Amino acid sequence: MSHENIHKSDHNLQANSRAGFNANGTISFIFDSTATYNRISKRPYLYKISIDYLNYAGSSFSQGAFRAVFLGNTDFIGQQLELKTKVLQMSTSQINAAWKWKLKQGQLTFGAGFGQLHAYRNLNVKNGFLRTDSALQYVDVKINGDLLAANYGYGITTELQWAFNNKIKRDFQIHNLGLSNLGVYSAPFLNHFSKTMDSGARIQQATITINSLNRNTWITDQRDTFNNAFRPDSAQQSKLIYTPFQVFAEFGLYKYKLLFKYIHIPGYLPSLTIHYKPFLYKKIQATPALQLGGWDTWNINLGIANAPKSNPKANLDWMVNIYGLEAFAFPKSTHGAGVMVGLKYNLAHKKDYAK
């Protein structure tokens, strides 16, 4: 970020803030045919095989932590910056298989997967502070926290979803309930760094200058001094790592569709997305939505897709979801944005259209 945007972000931050993102990619092979989609099955059958790349990062942090990292407390000399933060980042690739069981009451989907861990970082600074005296003679620092880091591991994940068979239309209905990416990974070579301090330590540093503090790289400039004073305890161990699982529920209320979602990761608030009925223009379907919670306090979203087809032999379906339209319109705001693109190609069998 530029110095101007750093100060603007600091101005918009609250005493405690949060940030995060998820960058995921999936290729799925679905074995449910058009003709048998709504038929009852006597037993579960293999419904889908997918290859997934999942990358999650989430954080909650104090304004003092942001200022210490990005501003170097130049504007806060003689003041105490409270350091408190949680950061979790996890990157995996997985292969998953899912089965479906179609009953009169609804459809049960359950699956399991096997994955490889590519990166894991879990930082938790429970409390601490940073204070530079007004004469620039010393820095007082206190840190209580730990860091877990791993770049290798293997694990398993599960998913479970129930879709209700709502034959009678009502003003309020429950459509779907689900749990996904619930799993555990084993990291045999996980590094654990921890630091516990009963009181702050004073670092005498004659090289602290205004020029040094004006740069947002000031911590790197003083790295050797801080490392000598705050060398953490470290150990390598084998540990089980739990994935950032998701829970979701989809409801229907009059003309609206409500989607509740929660990702178990620092910085993510339970979200509620309100979808209005789609608008059709020629062969394009547009669905606006208001999202409350998630990574932001609110977002304006828009889904664009090809209109539903009456002819099931039409093979290609596509969709584009745009999250946070207000951030695209005002890119210097602190709101986030994102895009999801999907393509589906149906390989139909002749017997699917026998009737």
CA distance 286 to 299: 17
- Mean pLDDT rounded to a whole number for the chain: 83
pLDDT of the residue at 296: 87
Question: Is the per-residue pLDDT at 187 higher than 60?
Answer: yes
| Residue 148 shares a structural domain with residue 231 | yes
Most confident among 8-12, 149-153, 323-327 (mean pLDDT):
149-153
Q: How many CB atoms lie within 10 A of CB 138?
A: 15
Lowest mean pLDDT among 32-41, 111-120, 233-242, 341-350: 32-41
Question: Is the per-residue pLDDT at 269 higher than 80?
Answer: yes
Q: What tokens were used for 178?
A: 């689900």
Residue where one domain finishes, among candidates 184, 214, 246:
246
Q: Is the residue at 262 inside a domain? A: no
Question: Is the per-residue pLDDT at 62 higher than 80?
Answer: yes
| Residue 187 shares a structural domain with residue 301 | no
**Number of domains forming the structure of the chain:** 2
For residue range 194-237, list pLDDT tens digits in order.
888 888 777 765 555 544 544 555 555 555 555 555 666 778 88
| Residue 278 shares a structural domain with residue 312 | yes
Question: Is the per-residue pLDDT at 58 higher than 90?
Answer: yes
- Greater pLDDT, 191 or 221: 191
pLDDT of the residue at 210: 47
| Residue 185 shares a structural domain with residue 330 | no
| Residue 204 shares a structural domain with residue 345 | no
Q: What angle do CA 142, 147, 148 make, to 5 degrees?
A: 165
Q: Is the residue at 17 inside a domain? A: yes
| Residue 137 shares a structural domain with residue 184 | yes
Q: Provide, rounded to the nearest whole percent, the portion of the chain with pLDDT above 90.
A: 39
Domain hosting 281: range is 268-355
For residue range 247-257, list pLDDT tens digits in order.
999 999 888 89
pTM score? 0.82
User: Torsion angle of alpha carbons 265, 267, 269, 274, nearest 10°?
Assistant: -100
| Residue 197 shares a structural domain with residue 317 | no
| Residue 205 shares a structural domain with residue 333 | no
E-strand ranges in the chain read 16-22, 25-30, 45-62, 80-82, 85-102, 106-132, 138-150, 153-164, 172-195, 201-204, 233-242, 246-253, 256-263, 269-275, 279-281, 284-294, 298-306, 316-323, 338-345
CA distance 212 to 219: 9
Q: CA nearest 108: which of 117, 97, 118, 98? A: 98
Residue where one domain finishes, among candidates 185, 214, 246:
246
